Structure 1
Amino acid sequence: MKTHQSIFAFGVVTTAAFGLAALLASSPAQAITLQTKSINLPTSTRVFPGDSAGAKAANSYCLMCHSVGMVMNQPDLGKAAWLVEVNKMKNAFKAPIPEDQVAVIAGYLDSIKGKK
């Protein structure tokens, strides 16, 4: 199976390379101008309220990518759903959340944004 995938990948890369070579050979050379753009990201000094282990973990790991406002604008979810969300951030999006902090953050989010 691995050999088949390797041959397929080689074929795709080879086809793409020949296609690019044909395109470049058939068109006159054109200058490419690269532009530099900058953006200003919004800043915030807001932190998650409280001094519990959950608040500290949310402030340490969630604020790397999210603002407090963004999290607080999410729908109210139950603890199990928050656990799914925090695990998604850790596993799918590669947030550097220690395994032992996943349930702590989910419990904290449930306490401030849980289904009532």
Structure 2
Amino acid sequence: MSFQNFCYGIVAVAGISLALFGKSPPAPPAPYPPTPEALRFAAAEAAYPFHNASIELPAGDRQFQGPGAEVANANCLSCHSAGMVLNQPPLSRAVWEEEVRKMRTAYHAPVAEADVEPIAKYLASLPRP
């Protein structure tokens, strides 16, 4: 018997053994049940489908006016429109200082510490509607 025939015999016996006694391949694992968050998200997406929207904002070329406006124009207009700031309720100088400091610390606004007080003074001095 040749070596080649011997190898064919081994392969044949192995194939027959697998066919007769082998097990079927394991079933794929069951999927995990969805989490409550996933279910809420799916329900919200079904109720309010997401879509792209194009929004055109009005031009924001309005600037602060009057004495002290330079510091507000130089610091505030990079993030806010003048109209948005001017439509805020009347606030005291101390509250404006807190707000400007919050812009620096929480939102990392590029406002120098030396400009905080002049900005607050200017904004507190503005007449409100």
Query: What TM-score, normalized to structure 1?
Result: 0.60
The CA distance in 2 between the partners of 1:40 and 1:60, in whole Å, is 25
Residue 56 of structure 2 corresponds to 40
The CA distance in 2 between the partners of 1:60 and 1:40, in whole Å, is 25
Structure 1 vs Structure 2 CA RMSD? 2.1
Residue 97 of structure 1 corresponds to 111
Question: Which has the larger share of helix?
Answer: 1
Q: State the shift of 1:41 in Å.
A: 3.3
Q: Deviations over 1:24-45 (max 9, x none)?
A: xxxxxxxxxxx98654333122
Work out which of the two has the higher radius of gyration on C-alpha atoms and give 1 or 2.
2
Residue 72 of structure 2 corresponds to 58
Give the SS at the match of 2:115.
helix
Residue 94 of structure 2 corresponds to 80
Equivalent position amino acid for 1:74 in 2: Q
Relative to structure 1, the CA distance from residue 82 to residue 103 in structure 2 (aligned partners, 3 Å threshold; closer, same or farther) is: same
Structure 2, unmatched stretches of 5+, are 1-30, 33-50
How high is the sequence identity, in percent, across the aligned residues?
Answer: 49
Alpha carbons 1:46, 1:68 under 8 Å: kept: yes
Equivalent position amino acid for 1:42 in 2: P
Alpha carbons 1:75, 1:113 under 8 Å: kept: no
Structure 1, unmatched stretches of 5+, are 1-21, 24-34
Query: What TM-score, normalized to structure 2?
Result: 0.54
Residue 17 of structure 2 corresponds to none
